[in-house]
Amino acid sequence: MVSDKSKNKAGRQEVIAAVYLLVMLLPNIFLACTEPYSWSTVLCSLLLPGGVYAALAVVSGRPGVPILCSLPFMVLGAFQIVLLYLFGGSIIAVDMFTNLFTTNASEAGELLGSIWPSVVFVCAVYLPLIALGIRSLFLRDRLRPVFRRRVLVAAAGAFVLGCSFAGVSAACRPGFGIRYHVFPVDVIYNIRLALQRWDRSNAYPETSRDFRFDAVRSDSAGGREIYVLVVGEASRAASWSLFGYERPTTPLLEQRDGLVPFPDVLTQSNATHKSVPVLLSSVSAENYGDIYSQKSILTAFKEAGFETLFISNQVPNRSLIDYFSFEADAREDISPREGELYTDNRPDGDMLPILERAIASTDSSLFVILHTYGSHMDYTKRYPREFARFTPDLSSAVSRENRETVRNAYDNSVYYTDWVLDRIIGLLENTDAVSALFYCADHGEDLMDDDRGRFLHASPTPTYYQLHVACFAWFSERYRERFPLKYETAVAHRLGPSTTGAVFHHVADMASLRGRCIDSTQAFSSAAFAPRLRRMYLNDHDRAVEFYNSGLEAEDFDMLDRHRIEYDRSHRRKTLY
C-alpha cells in the first residue's frame, strides 16, 4: 500500500506537470480572447497545442525534462505576451522577427524601458516554471504510471478533436490555416519566412547589380537644381496641425509659401525595413518582390547627372535601406556607428550642417536624401528640451494612465520636426538654385488613441493611425518661376489619394526624370496623374491586400471617414477566421 506521504510526494510531480501545461497554454488562451477567431478556430488553437503539451508533460517520469527542453517555446511565449501588451492582439509577425535583426540596442532599451510591466509579468510567469522544472529533476519520486496513461489518452483525444475543429475552420473560413492561426506553429512558420527574407536582403548587391533606369532629364532649369527627399519616421498625419490637428504642432511649415500638403497619403507598410525601401524605390506593395532586383531613386538621379548624398540619423543594420544608401556618391551618418552595441541617436537637426556643407561644396545639381529619426519611440529623446512645448512629457512606462503624457512627448517630436524641415527649406531658399523638397513619413504611430489601447507601429495588423502619414512638397520661388505648370498641377492634385509607393514617382517627376520604371501617372506634379482609388497594403506575409482589408476595425474606419480618406465604404467589416 502507498502511504499518504508517498502520495503527496508523487503529487508534487503531477502538480508541476499541470503548471507546465497551464503556463505553456497562456499565449493561446490570451490569443483566443484577443483575436477575431471563430469558435472552431478557438477550440482548435487550444486543443491542438494543449494535446501536445499534455503529452510532453508526461513523456518522462519527471516533467522537469520537457520543461527545460521547452525553453525556446517559453521565449516565444514571453515574446507573444509582450506583443499582446503592446498591440492588444495578433501573433508574432514576420516583421517583428525582422525588426529584431535590424533594431539596435539603444532602440531595444528605449522600448523595454517603456513596457516594463509586461516584462515583469512574463518573468513572473516563466521563471517560476523553470525553477519548478529544475526542482522536478531533483525529486526522488516520478509521475505515477496510471496518471501518465490517463494524461496520454486525454492528450490524444484533445489532439484529434483539435484536428477536427481545424477541418471545420478550413471548410468554413477560406483564410484559415494552422500555420497562420495556431500558436506556436504560426510563429515557427513566421521565423522561417523572416530568415528567407533576410537571405534575400543580403543577396541584394548581386541580384540588383546590372539594373539600370536609363534615366534622363526631359526638361531642365538651365542652371543648378537641388532636390531633397526627407524620409520621416513614425510621423502620423493625425498629429500634424498642417493636416487639421487641433494642437499647433507645425506652425512654421504652415506659413511657408510654395508648400503643398497631401492629406490623403497612406503607407504601404507599417514596418520601417519595408516601408522605407518602398518609398525609395519604384516598386510598390503590388510588385514588392521586384525590390530585390531593382535599385533606388539615388541611382535614377545619378544616371540623370546629379551628384547624390544620403544623410542618415539611423544606425546601419544591413537592411535594404543600407544597400540603397550606398548607391549615393556619398553617405553621412550622424549617430555613433560601427563597433558600438549601444548608440545614442542625435536630434535630426544635427543633419543640417552636413546638408549646408554639401550645398556649398559643389556647383553641380544635387539630390539629397535625409533619413530622419523623426517621432520614433522614445519620443522624449527625439527633440531638445527647448522644444518641449506640450508638458508634462516625461513618463517611465506606457500605460493608459499616462496616455496624455505620451501624447505630449509625441507632439513635441512633431513640433521639432516642423522646425527641422523649416530650416532645411530655409537652406534651399537661400541658394541660387532651382530647388524643391518632398517629405513623407514611412508610417504612422498608435498612441493609445481609443479604447483598444494600441501603441507604437509595426503591429501585425495596422490601424488608421499607422496608415495615414504626413506628406507634403515644397517648391522654391525659382522652381515655381521655371516650372509653373508642375507646381500648379501639384496644387490641383493635392487632394488625390496616393501611397508611399508613389513617392519615387513624385520626386522623379518633380525633377523631370524619365526612364524605365518611372511612372508619371503616379506623380502629383504630372498632368498625367491618375488617382489610385484601389490602394494596396503589404501585409506581414508580403502579400498585397486592399488597405481596408488589412485588419482595420470600426474605430479605424471612423477615423478614415473623419479625415476624408478615400476607400470603398462597403468594406467596413471584420473577418473571422
pLDDT band with cut points at 50, 70 and 90 for residue 104:
low
Beta strand spans in 285-400 (E): 307-312, 330-333, 366-371
Q: What confidence category does residue 187 fall into, taking pLDDT thresholds of 50, 70 and 90?
A: very high
Q: What sign results for the dihedral spanned by CA atoms 285, 290, 293, 294?
A: negative
Helix then strand count (H, E) for the chain reads: 21, 15
In the chain, where the domains are located: 4-199, 224-571
Provide the b/e sequence for 456-472 (b: ≥16 CB within 10 Å): bbbbbbbbbbbbbbbbb
Q: Which three cell numbers stand for residue 401?
A: 494612465
Tens-place pLDDT, residues 455-514: 888 888 899 999 999 999 999 999 999 999 999 999 999 999 999 999 999 999 999 999
> Residue 106: what pLDDT?
57
* CATH architecture assigned to 224-571: 3-Layer(aba) Sandwich (3.40)
CA–chain centroid gap for 11, Å, is 47
Q: Is the pTM of this model over 0.85?
A: yes
Round to the nearest angstrom and report the end-to-end CA distance of the chain. Answer: 52
Distance CA 327, CA 523 (A): 23
DSSP 7-52: HHHHHHHHHHHHHHHHHHHHHHHHHHHHS---HHHHHHHHHHHHHH
| Span 195-209, average pLDDT | 93
What CA–CA distances, in Å, run from 88 to 162, 399, 438, 454, 480? Answer: 25, 12, 34, 6, 47
Looking at residue 6, what is its pLDDT? 44
Q: How far, in Å, are 86, 237, 457 from residue 468 at the CA level?
A: 20, 6, 12
Task: Please report which confidence band the pLDDT of residue 100 belongs to, taking 50, 70 and 90 as the band edges.
Answer: low
Confidence of residue 1 (pLDDT cuts 50, 70, 90): very low
| Phi, psi angles (nearest 5°) of residue 334 | -105, -10
